[in-house]
Amino acid sequence: MAQQPPIPYDFLPEVPSLTVESDDVADGERMSDDHVFDDWGMQGRNISPHLRWSGAPDGTKSYAVTCFDPDAPTGSGFWHWILFDIPTDVTELPTGAGAGEKKGLPEGAVLGRTDYGTREYGGAAPPPGHPHRYLFAVHALGVEKLGLDSETPSAVVGFNITANTLARGYIAPVYST
């Protein structure tokens, strides 16, 4: 039987790029244990990385920040962080901003449920094997609110983010065990 080619991970529509930077993670570089999960046999610190962004187009009415692992062996990837309805005057999140709803999130922002089943950042926890990419994405949205709550399934939030994205940028650090 012939080997199938790898499935591309990004079926999202092309949009203009945002600039996304971090003091904690770098594109293509290994994440530190600070940003690794602290369960499932992992011994990380489960701290979300610092992120800052710029270059949003006119018409941006809010932002969303997500972390997605397209390499997770699930057939549908794995959502590690979902934060949406971020006001446009916020263009930076400090290290640890994903620690939960009472940890200094921007006013009005909604912390969505990850594939861990929690409403907080959930760090890297790949099975042994090849490195996984962790796409820390910032989405400039054309709506002030997505009209969703913190219990909305991650795929539905992702669908609504994609439907309202004017621009997107990301940093993709890697991690493996």
Residue with the two structure tokens 């997500």: 66
pLDDT of residue 38: 86
User: So where are the chain's domains?
Assistant: 19-175
On whether the CB atoms of residues 167 and 140 are closer than 8 A, the answer is: yes
DSSP state of 124: B
- The helix (H) or strand (E) run that includes residue 20 is strand 19-21
pLDDT tens sequence for the chain (177 residues): 444 444 444 667 889 999 999 999 999 999 999 998 888 777 888 999 999 999 999 999 999 999 999 998 888 899 999 999 999 999 999 999 988 766 778 889 999 999 999 999 999 998 888 889 999 999 999 999 999 999 999 999 999 999 999 999 999 999 988
pLDDT of residue 156: 96
**For residue 114, with 0-12 CB atoms within 10 Å meaning exposed, 13-18 middle and 19 or more buried, which class applies?**
buried
Residue with the two structure tokens 């979300």: 48
pTM: 0.92
- Hey, what are 109's tokens? 């922002």
Distance CA 158, CA 148 (A): 11
Distance CA 125, CA 132 (A): 9
**CATH fold group of domain 19-175:** Phosphatidylethanolamine-binding Protein (3.90.280)
pLDDT of residue 127: 87
